[in-house]
């Protein structure tokens, strides 16, 4: 069941609408505001403790020193509870921030929400936000195995 859900969420289309436009101010939420002055890698994912989400999180964790070198922070968002995030971080050794979005309001603001069997989940999209708070890149339907490397490459290209 978990695998079918993740495959559905990965392949499903987004709820009607578009991503916030590149070049515009990124939709705000309290945790995002605390990172002004840094690059922010804001990634949305469906569910804690699932294989794809765990792989994606491990890769972002593995690359934490590279993000620090680039004055960047990683922030993950899903509809899971704060308690689930706390347990996920503890079990998987994650040191970056996971934000609980139980009403999917943040996910909706970034058009990164999917519905499955009447329940809302965050869709796997990643957004790169510059130190001024502007959206500079969207990674639609990000692949868990390569998302971190793609974001690092984009950061390097933008800083040239």
Write out the chain's pLDDT in tens, 160 residues.
444 344 344 333 334 468 999 999 999 998 898 999 999 999 999 999 999 999 999 999 999 999 999 999 999 999 999 999 999 999 999 999 999 999 999 999 999 999 888 888 999 999 999 999 999 999 999 999 999 999 999 999 997 6
82: exposed, middle or buried (C-beta count within 10 Å: 0-12, 13-18, 19+)?
Answer: exposed
**92: domain CATH number?**
3.40.30.10
Which structural domain range is residue 154 located in?
2-158
How far apart CA 23 and CA 84 sit, in angstroms, is 33
Catalogue the active-site residues.
53
């Amino acid at each position: 069941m978990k695998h079918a859900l993740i495959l559905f969420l990965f392949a499903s289309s987004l709820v009607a609408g578009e991503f916030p436009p590149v070049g515009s101010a990124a939709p705000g939420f309290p945790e995002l505001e605390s990172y002004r002055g840094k690059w922010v890698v804001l990634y949305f994912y469906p569910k804690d403790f699932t294989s794809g989400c765990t792989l994606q999180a491990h890769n972002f964790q593995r690359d934490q020193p590279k993000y620090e070198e680039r004055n960047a922070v990683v922030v993950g968002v899903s509809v899971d509870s704060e308690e689930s995030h706390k347990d996920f971080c503890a079990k998987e050794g994650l040191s970056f921030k996971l934000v609980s979005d139980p009403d999917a309001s943040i996910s909706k603001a970034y058009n990164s929400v999917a519905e499955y069997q009447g329940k809302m989940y965050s869709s796997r999209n990643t957004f790169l936000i510059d130190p001024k708070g502007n959206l500079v890149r969207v990674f639609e339907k990000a692949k868990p195995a390569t998302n971190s490397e793609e974001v690092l490459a984009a950061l390097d290209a933008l800083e040239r």
